[in-house]
A and B are shown apart, each in its own frame.
Chain A
Amino acid sequence: MKNGICSRFLCLFFLATVLVTAKPALAVLGESVDSISSDRRALVATRGSVTVHDGYQVQEIGSDAITIREYISPSGVVFAIAWNGIAVPDLTSLLGSYANDYQTALKQAPRKPGRRFRQIKTDRVVVERWGHMRNLQGRAYSPALVPQGVSIDEIK
């Protein structure tokens, strides 16, 4: 493909059409932001935005049911993902190459009855889930990818 293939107006029209009609495109933890893969779950996006923070950007994709926030480093890598909503997004898709680590560690982690928070920690990835019925929440991040100076508390 050539760079001159679409004019800015055509592009705007095309992007608007895609954003309105398609499933949102979700990046995967640990991969570059241009490695876009469609989420398996039919999350019909009704809103999407990018906010710039000190040292990273957050791309938010939302539907009436679930909001997903992707934390993108200056080099364009998704170093963390946070979500909340009435249901939980498909973590296997979102975690990408970290999904197996998570599933393996999850099976070995003891249950803590009464606790409405659970942390699954491996060398490569930390997955935390909390919240309550009607607003289930969580975040996943790869400690090695979190840019220097960015606090984990900012991922929420």
Chain B
Amino acid sequence: MKSSNVLILLCLLVLTAGCGGGGGGVSNTKSGTSATLVRITVSPTSPSIAYGMSEPFTLTGTYSDSSTKILTAAAIWNSSNPSVATFSNLTGVAASSMTGTTTIGASYGGFSQSTQLTVTPAALVSITVAPASSSIAFGTTEQFTATGTYTDNTTQNLTTSATWISSAPAVAVVSNATGSNGLVTSQATGTTGTALIMARSGLVSGSTMLTVTGGIAATANNVLSITVNGSLCSSSTSVGYVNKPCVSVKVCAPGSTTACTTVSDILLDTGSFGLRIFKTALTVPLTQVTANGGSLAECAQFGDGSSEWGPINLADVVLGNETAASVPIQVIDSTFGTVPGTCGTPDQTPEAAGFNGILGVGVFGEDCGSICTTDSNLGLYYSCNGSVCNGTTVPLADQVHNPVVSLPTDSNGVIVELPDVSLSGASSANGNLVLGIGTETNNIPPGVTTYSTDEYGEINTVFSGTTYAGIIDSGSNGLFFTSPSASMIPNCSSSSEWFCPSTTTTLSAVNNSASGSTSGQVLFSLGNFVTLANAGNNVFSDIGAEQPSLFDWGLPFYFGRFVYVGIEGQGSSLGIGPYFAY
């Protein structure tokens, strides 16, 4: 131990001793079994659920030594009005039977506590638009229908009451006129292409992809196709990889329109910032960025501890038909220089990573931001001379850029448009990534709510009585959150982190902007992962897994929605980024 540290400790001792125990000391000892129960607490307090849903309750005991213990399974529970909700002592879950109120009571060790449970009328969970994935000739019409599914598993035809929206009015328009609601007309003078046809009711929406054939062969410049486990994903990198959204990106030598290579199997990721592509997939000469007299390299790190290592190069990045000129991208190359020890084991091959590259189009313009302009020691950016790499500061301009901010127009954000996926899943799904928000005829927001994020790119999400940081991340392949009840939402097995409820279960959460100025409820379904995966599908709207502290609205959240991703400092009719809107 360093002598200065001894001195610090000694001083701390002197200070605390001299202050008469003024707090902060380790005096809160636990006496274990000898402590007596002081009170019991039922949570959540006064919850409200829609008819058809269930609510897990927890009983917490507080002891004389301030320690707490979960007593849910040991307590005696009852529901005062079983015709409204029945309570299972076995699972700790109240299941609704009709609308109304009931008192949920718990008794343990001579203590009793209760709270009121309110069951509201069945609520709309999802909308299915039919016919799914249809194709029509230009100048023709097709009638679409919208079917709502409610928390009590009933369905209702919403064709005449829903608001209909076409993502691309130049390709096809959809009628909201009485008598012709949901009637789609492809534009006789329009362009060949795709439009997502959406039906919306309140905060719930559903959509499907329509392809118009035979028109003028010119697709919009600001649209990239997304295939979820489809043709733009490489089979060699997708083994065991469900809910994988892939796009294709063209990369050119700076200033060149001919020295270009088109790379598919690029993961669409709204949870990161910047384009990273494996060196093996790049066949054109790019320009190395320098820093502190060496070659700039980066250890890009992801949430699960995985990392990508390699140099930063300038490239012209073509998204759709729009070019982001001279953008810093990362060339993933684990043989470049020497991988720093703190970078762990960066991915060596596309097969190890699960993609050829990753396109980060989240809410920030650079992957690090201002902290990397002053701190050289974060373990992110390095200056390499030969095999020697040392930490370096990097000006914002040289950091890996979200290429969207470098587009000549359409630079204020993106829209991720993916169709409905049924509760049983699909083998693949096709949608669009649209560049820009409110800058073209095909990216005007139709009545969505904006949720601004904080400096981390996080909103907040209230779920089962707890407030979590929330992200809306297309690169996460499930809904990742803390299970509210191991009996209601259990893991599939001790070795699997996926959830396996015995039946498909509807859950409710509320998203709030980070500042708290807007909020909206989200009802979502969670199915049994093992049952779903065994049916052979790859794309699911209702899979999730356990994760602490962060509510991660992964790809399932995107199905049936248009999700707007607004970049920091950039304005649109939805506000100034960073924000998500849907």
* A6-B305 in contact (CB<8A): no
* A128-B548 in contact (CB<8A): yes
Residue of B nearest to A52 (CB): B28
Interface residues as binary, B1-44 with A (CB distance below 8 Å gives 1, 0 otherwise): 11011111111111100100001101111101000000000000
Inside 8 A of A113's CB, which chain B residues have their CB?
Answer: 240-241, 244, 353-355, 477
Q: Measured between alpha carbons, how far is A150 from B30 in the docked complex, in Å?
A: 10
* A86-B303 in contact (CB<8A): no
Inside 8 A of A86's CB, which chain B residues have their CB?
Answer: 368-369, 371-372, 378, 380
**Could you tell me the distance in whole angstroms from the C-beta of A149 to the nearest C-beta in chain B?**
4
Q: Measured between alpha carbons, how far is A8 from B17 in the docked complex, in Å?
A: 10
Inside 8 A of B499's CB, which chain A residues have their CB?
Answer: none
The 8 Å CB contact of A74, one of B30, B375, B554, is: B30
Inside 8 A of A96's CB, which chain B residues have their CB?
Answer: none
Inside 8 A of A1's CB, which chain B residues have their CB?
Answer: 6-7, 10
Query: Which residues, 86 to 114 on A, are CB-close (under 8 Å) to B?
Result: 86-88, 90, 92, 106-107, 111-114
Inside 8 A of B273's CB, which chain A residues have their CB?
Answer: 133-134
Residue of B nearest to A2 (CB): B10
* A134-B457 in contact (CB<8A): yes
Residue of A nearest to B380 (CB): A87
Q: Is A50 an interface residue (CB 8 A)?
A: yes
Residue of A nearest to B14 (CB): A11
Inside 8 A of A18's CB, which chain B residues have their CB?
Answer: 4, 8
* B303-A156 in contact (CB<8A): no
**Could you tell me the distance in whole angstroms from the C-beta of A78 to the nearest C-beta in chain B?**
12
Task: Kindly name the residue among A34, A106, A130 whose own CB sees the greatest number of chain B CB atoms within 10 A.
Answer: A130
* A148-B548 in contact (CB<8A): no
**Could you tell me the distance in whole angstroms from the C-beta of A26 to the nearest C-beta in chain B?**
11
Q: Is B557 an interface residue (CB 8 A)?
A: no
Q: Is A144 an interface residue (CB 8 A)?
A: no
Q: Is B573 an interface residue (CB 8 A)?
A: no
Residue of B nearest to A50 (CB): B24
| Interface size of A in residues (CB-CB distance below 8 Å) | 66
Q: Is A123 an interface residue (CB 8 A)?
A: no
Assess A52 versus B377: contact at CB under 8 Å? Given A15-B11, A116-B480: no
Inside 8 A of B300's CB, which chain A residues have their CB?
Answer: 133
Assess A111 versus B306: contact at CB under 8 Å? Given A11-B14, A128-B548, A148-B32: yes
Task: Kindly name the residue among B300, B303, B355 whose own CB sees the greatest number of chain A CB atoms within 10 A.
Answer: B303
Assess A72 versus B26: contact at CB under 8 Å? Given A8-B15, A25-B5: yes
Query: Which residues, 42 to 91 on B, are CB-close (under 8 Å) to A?
Result: 62-63, 65-70
**Could you tell me the distance in whole angstroms from the C-beta of B234 to the nearest C-beta in chain A?**
12
Inside 8 A of A129's CB, which chain B residues have their CB?
Answer: 303-305
Inside 8 A of B322's CB, which chain A residues have their CB?
Answer: none
* A12-B15 in contact (CB<8A): yes
The 8 Å CB contact of A116, one of B240, B372, B379, B476, is: B476
Q: Measured between alpha carbons, how far is A8 from B13 in the docked complex, in Å?
A: 10
Interface-lining segment among B108-116, B359-367, B432-440, B503-511: B359-367
Q: Measured between alpha carbons, how far is A35 from B243 in the docked complex, in Å?
A: 46
Q: Can you list 5 pairs linking A and B with CB atoms under 8 Å apart? A: A36-B5, A55-B67, A113-B355, A116-B480, A130-B304
Q: What residues make up the interface of B, taking CB atoms closer than 8 Å to A?
A: 1-2, 4-15, 18, 23-24, 26-30, 32, 62-63, 65-70, 240-244, 271-273, 300-306, 341-342, 345, 352-355, 360, 362, 364, 367-369, 371-372, 375, 377-380, 456-458, 469, 471, 473, 475-478, 480, 482, 497, 545-550, 552, 554-555
Q: Which 5 A-B pairs have the closest CB atoms?
A: A114-B477, A113-B354, A149-B67, A11-B11, A116-B303
